[in-house]
Amino acid sequence: MKSVADWLQRGYTEAVLMETGMRRNECMKRLSKVSCGLLLTASLLIGAMLSGCGQTTDYTAEIKEYQNKLESLAAENEELKAQLGITETQSAEETQTAAETENQSQEMVSENQTTETDVQQAENTDNSGDEMKILVLGDSIWGNYRDDTGVSARLAACLAQEGKNATVYNGAIGGTRATISPDDNEYKFGPASDCSLGKMVSILRGDTDVEMLQGKAAYDDIKAVMDVKDQIDVVILSYGMNDFLAQAPINNSDRPWTGFGTALNSGVLEIKGIFPQAQILIISPNYASYFPIPVKNMGEKALYNYASIACDVAVGQGTLCVDAYDNLGVDAYNADEYLEDGIHLNEKGRSLYAKTIASCLLYGTAGQISGNNIASFN
């Protein structure tokens, strides 16, 4: 009787034939099945022999049964090979050829997968069609911080997470208002109206020299915008806090630029004429408090009145809108967490603010007040 090693060697040879035999007829398919049977039966035989090592149980009958099965399968295997005209030399050659073919196929699949992956990565990182140029006109909420912790930088970072390559031109200047002083008009800007929305519109329209802004933090950005006015995609208007502090009239139909709502409305109309291709986003003043008493409860005209009128202008003009007073998530209960001095946002507050703005730009609807959908941003 042949040794177990002989049976295993033979079973291995016939199993390899299975790999090359798939290109033949049904007879060859049968050969493959027989080869697999040889391997399986040989394995069971070894298992039975090994399980008896060191034990007194007699596995002779079980081993004999497996040996008989191996002999029967081997005989059938030889008969099938004879029918196919396969010699041992041919088997070895075909086995090698099959192995080489399989390796080549695997390499081709691997190359194709790599190519597809590279293409997909290129598509995911190609932002050539997702350029966005944003102009911001506003007060110190945007203007005070122009580093990586500022709202402009944080906004660009949020948009980048969604595949938008944004350039933010920060034309905001601290202390400015949407309104002008009652002593000034839209063509004459005194100190109190310096850098107001009316003056910024006059500069962008070309009626006032941009060089008037020299020495201001926004000078470089506004000057750069003058060369790309037809490429601006979004104009953000963020006013109201200083209008409230100055107790500017809520509206003034006789002299529109002196009332907050009428000035903001006039500004939107001018911006539409200067940047007809751009979306406009109006942001109301955010919640603020000087002391434990909220600002909204102080003064002849409450801060929320200015926030409300900003949203009214946005809805009426069909622009994007963020109600930073009610929807930012800053209120009397957590003001210390987000405000550094009762008015201005701290770093955490600026991050929250930027995420809210990005959400509106990506998912907001013109003519509607956006919520605070910031879950998708880090």
pLDDT tens digits, one per residue of 78-129: 665 566 555 544 554 544 554 454 455 444 444 444 334 333 333 333 333 4
- Is 228 inside any structural domain? yes
- In the chain, the amino acid numbered 258 is T
Length of the chain: 378
Beta-carbon contacts of residue 142 (< 8 Å; ≥ 6 apart): 136, 150, 151, 152, 170, 172, 238
State which of 88, 123, 158 marks the end of a domain.
Answer: 123
What pLDDT shows up at residue 203? 94
114 and 136 belong to one structural domain: no
- In a domain, residue 262? The reply is yes
Type of residue found at 17: L
pTM score, whole prediction = 0.64
Domain boundary among the residues 123, 140, 168 is at: 123
Residue 376 counted as domain residue = no
Q: Are residues 19 and 60 both part of a single domain? A: yes
Whether residues 47 and 185 fall in one domain? no
77 part of a folded domain: yes
- My answer on whether 114 and 203 are in the same domain is no
Q: Is the dihedral of CA 69, 75, 80, 81 positive or negative?
A: positive
Whether 16 is covered by a domain: the verdict is: yes
**Average model confidence (pLDDT) across the chain:** 76
pLDDT of residue 111: 42
* CA end-to-end distance (rounded Å), the chain: 73
Please tell me whether residues 141 and 104 are part of one structural domain: no
Residues 87 and 175 in one domain: no
Residue 284 in domain: yes
Range of the domain at 27: 4-123
Lowest-confidence pick of 156-160, 186-190, 257-261, 269-273: 186-190
267 and 308 assigned to the same domain = yes
Q: Are residues 118 and 199 in the same domain?
A: no
Look at the chain and report how many structural domains it folds into.
2
Residue of 173, 178, 169 lying closest to 136 (CA atoms) = 169
- 234: which 2 tokens? 């979004």
CATH number for position 341: 3.40.50.1110
Q: Give the residue carrying structure tokens 């009626």.
A: 207
293, part of any domain: yes
* Domain identity same for 160 and 177: yes
Residues 98 and 12 in one domain: yes
Residue 267: phi and psi, rounded to 5, are -60, -40
Q: Tell me if 178 sits within 8 A of 268, measured CB to CB.
A: no
**Top-confidence range, 21-35, 299-313, 344-358:** 344-358
Is residue 377 domain-resident? no
Average pLDDT over residues 198-210: 93
Are 31 and 137 members of one domain? no
- Residue that finishes a domain, picked among 123, 153, 181: 123
pLDDT (mean) for 57-67 = 60
The answer on 247 and 217 residing in a single domain is yes
